[in-house]
Amino acid sequence: MKIAIMGAMPEEVAPILEKLGEYKTTEYANNKFYEATYKGVDLVIAYSKIGKVFSTLTASTMIQHFGADRLLFSGVAGAISSSLKVGDLIVATKLAQHDLDITAFGHPFGYVPEGSVYVEADAKMIEMSKEVAKEMDKSVQEGIIATGDQFVANEEKKNWIADTFKADALEMEGASVAVVCNALNIPFFVLRAISDAADMDASFSFDEFLEKSAVESAEFVMKMVDKIVG
């Protein structure tokens, strides 16, 4: 078993690397990959840099070059659902790309060519996350995550994404990672802690809460790893 743990930003993987202590660093495809053995299981960890292209490259590299056979994503997101507040955790049930638009050819918004609008996350890891939440005494919501190459800081855009995709949170990497994992038959799990409400104050909120929310998410994902290896 080799587990990939990925984030988009340094702040999202730093708490994981801190927990591991020792790891080997390999440079590949203009990025750094950190390998470690944790409780007898091999891990590969990386932050992709922001956006769908980098996250696609990194997920694909972790699977095809480093041999990961499952992938857990940890990071922060903007809330759409009013029940999600800064610091709250959301587990993605399925993900869609809100900026993928071939509607001119009769497809719905977000439709992936020769695919579908949504990609579903691994049901077993979602089930497992409920046990982890109980053990940590944390409330974790499940919901739809919408991904796009935009930092959303605008109510109108956020409402459009909410209406079009029934999404509960939005970010910039989850759905592209989902497409990669789905194509390569790799079970995946996406967890996000809320950093902002994707409104006009989003950039300030993001700067203020990125680090704290990233730690919340990373702690939960490491408990998931404990459960998977244990």
Residues annotated as catalytic (active site), given as ranges? 12, 196
Cβ closest to ligand ADE, residue 11 vs residue 196: 196
Point out which residues bind ligand ADE (CB under 6 A).
Answer: 76-78, 151-153, 170-172, 195-196, 198, 202, 206
Nearer to ligand ADE, 62 or 161 (CB): 161
Minimum distance, C-beta of residue 225 to ligand ADE, in the bound complex (Å): 23
Q: Is 180 left (phi over 0), alpha (psi -120 to 50) or beta?
A: alpha
Shorter beta-carbon distance to ligand ADE: residue 3 or 78: 78
Residue pair 167/175 in contact by the 8 Å Cβ criterion: no
Q: Looking at 115-173, list the stretches that DSSP marks H as alpha helix, in order from N- to C-terminal side.
A: 123-136, 155-165
Q: State the minimum distance, in angstroms, from the CB of residue 216 to ligand ADE.
A: 13
- Give me the least distance between CB of 188 and ligand ADE, in Å please: 18
- Pick the closest to residue 75 from 205, 165, 210 (CA basis): 210
Distances (CA, A) of 54 to 6, 8, 94, 221: 11, 8, 20, 21
- Which one, of 88, 49, 92, lies nearest residue 191 by Cα? 92
Q: How far is the CB of 198 from ligand ADE (least distance, A)?
A: 4
**Which is nearer to ligand ADE, 171 or 219 (by Cβ)?**
171
Using CB atoms, what's the residue nearest to ligand ADE?
A: 78
